[in-house]
Structure 1
Amino acid sequence: MNAGWIFPFIILGGALQTCGAAMNGQLNKSLANPYLASTVSFLVITFFFMALFFAVPHPLPTIANLREMPWWAVFGGLVGAVQVFAGLTLVNKVGTGNFMALTVSAALITSLVVDHFGWFRMDIHPITLTKLGGAVLLITGVVFITRR
């Protein structure tokens, strides 16, 4: 991917995350069962990526890649499923603004901690006063957004 498209693609993903939460909330409302709605949501994702994999099957992992993979790496999707389930069941109760404000702030603050300590084999990026100030501003913004 061209480096000039990285930030716009990430921004698009963030914007679509808001749309996805609202869409999943409606899916849950229509199907009346959050477990069925989650299953439908993930089946669509699974078929989409299976089609992409069959269209572009290379590269494939080597035995060395698989041996070096940490045991917890395969659970990233399951962790993401918690967010999808939360969106399915809660976005209609709190609204997309509140839901995304809380989601994004929790993700950003957690990411600062993950980067600071290098968890999950991430490169270490220490928390600075500037980053800490940004987190405080973020939390302040969330308080304003979520107030009724």
Structure 2
Amino acid sequence: MTSLIFVMAGLLSGAIFAAQGAINGRLAAFAGGPLVAALISFSVGWLSLAALILLSRPQAPNSSVIATAPPWVYLGGLIGATGVALAALSVPRIGIATWVGALIAGQLMASIWLDHLGAFGQEVREITPGRIAGMICLALGVWLIRRY
């Protein structure tokens, strides 16, 4: 049952991210470009998280433990900002379905390789013919969405 909840959370996140690309693309038209749209988007997100933290009052993080984290763990914000800016730039030009299809295909290609390497401390999951077939089908799906 727990796995099903996480799959449903992934589906919900996917639906929300599809809308996010279109919303930020529209924001870029009003804000003067995709970088400003990404900045506004992340500012709203930052304020929302700050409000949730103030309301939930979690235990304060231990700064000495945080200081021991490897530098690469902070790349998530940079990756997120890049993705939001690229969505704001691309969605108005190629459409939501093509963008999301390409986004998912790119995520799947990278994730298959990262799983194979056991990257970032994850469990190693070998590349299999089934995973490669799934990746090819998804890439074909992106092509079909864009073409038709």
TM over 0.5: yes
Question: What is the deviation of 1:64?
Answer: 5.9
What residue in structure 2 maps to residue 29 of structure 1? 29
Question: What is the deviation of 1:18?
Answer: 0.4
Greater displacement, 53-62 / 93-102 = 53-62
Question: What is the deviation of 1:116?
Answer: 0.8
Greater displacement, 76-85 / 119-128 = 119-128
Determine whether 1:104 maps to 2:104: yes
Q: How does 1:85-104 map to 2 (within 5 A)?
A: 85-104=85-104
Give the residue type in structure 1 aligned to 2:80.
Answer: G
CA distance, structure 2, for counterparts of residue 57 and residue 69 of structure 1: 23
Question: What is the deviation of 1:99?
Answer: 0.8
What residue in structure 2 maps to residue 81 of structure 1? 81
CA distance, structure 2, for counterparts of residue 50 and residue 141 of structure 1: 39
Percent of aligned pairs with the same amino acid: 27
Tell whether the 8 Å contact from 2:115 to 2:122 is kept in structure 1 after alignment. Answer: yes
Question: What is the deviation of 1:43?
Answer: 0.5
Q: In the TM superposition, what whole-angstrom CA distance separates every residue of 1:95-119 from its partner, at most 9, and x where no partner exists?
A: 1111111111001110111111011
- What is the RMSD computed on CA atoms of the aligned residues? 1.7
Q: In the TM superposition, what whole-angstrom CA distance separates every residue of 1:28-82 from its partner, at most 9, and x where no partner exists?
A: 0122233322211111000011111112232443356324411111121111111
Give the residue type in structure 1 aligned to 2:37.
Answer: A
Number of matched pairs: 147
CA distance, structure 2, for counterparts of residue 59 and residue 128 of structure 1: 42
What residue in structure 2 maps to residue 129 of structure 1? 129
CA distance, structure 1, for counterparts of residue 122 and residue 101 of structure 2: 25
Determine whether 1:43 maps to 2:8: no
Give the residue type in structure 1 aligned to 2:86.
Answer: A
What residue in structure 2 maps to residue 72 of structure 1? 72
TM norm structure 1: 0.90
